[in-house]
Amino acid sequence: MTDVTIRAADGGSFMGYVALPSAGKGPGVVVIQEIFGVNAVMRAIADGLATQGYVALCPDLFWRQQPGIQLTDKTDAEWARAFELYKGFNEEKGVDDLKSAIATLRADKRCSRKIGTVGFCLGGKLAYLTATRTDADCAVGYYGVGIENALGEAANIKKPLMLHIAEKDQYCPAEAQAKIKASLAGNARVTLHHYAGMDHAFARVGGQHYDKAAADLANSRTAAFFKANLAG
């Protein structure tokens, strides 16, 4: 496991954490961070994807504010800093940086050129935006925040997209979920999974709302989705 330098489209560069499969090569997956940065949770997700045969890259999307952020969800001070970074995050630039990350991974000789994305929380919405704005081969979003505000882009979805939606998500209430379902449920390229009784971040290992059964189910669905769309 190592770091790689990614060149930003508008100048400058930022880092990304890379996890390699035992074979040393495979399809690529860009792992899109939560509001806590490229922390131990995100690196563990990348490592897990590597064990499934993928070259996983988790780019530092907060680099424009403060490079190298690695927060946890264990203290009030870290939560406060995470929300500061979230509020200061430039979504347009973030998508541009994801395009750069996808291009960097696709150009890596260890990658088969097929690229998927998977994001959580903030990254869940960004994963949706990679489906509407980038050339990623597929995308997966876990409990994305704010997707309902970008449904006007749904017509741009040209590749498979899977969204995991927590029924009791405090950051994506029932009204927002209804809008997402109404806009996307009829799209043959989109798969929506709803998790009854689950709150935001139910798949964050060690988090307050972690639910192993729901997380295992969502992760198994993601694994099958990536196998179908990337491994062939």
- Which residues are part of the catalytic machinery? 169, 200
Chain mean position to CA 160: 14
**Cβ–Cβ under 8 Å, residues 201 and 207:** yes
Cα–Cα distances (Å) from 205 to 1, 63, 226, in that order, read 20, 24, 21
Farthest CA pair distance, the chain = 45
SS (H, E, C) 80-93: HHHHHHHHHCCHHH
3-state secondary structure of 177: helix
* Joined tokens for residue 186: 């009829």
Q: Residue 72 class from Cβ within 10 Å (0-12 exposed, 13-18 middle, 19+ buried)?
A: middle
* Joined tokens for residue 96: 């541009």
**Cβ–Cβ under 8 Å, residues 43 and 58:** yes
CA separation for the pair 95, 23 (Å, rounded): 30
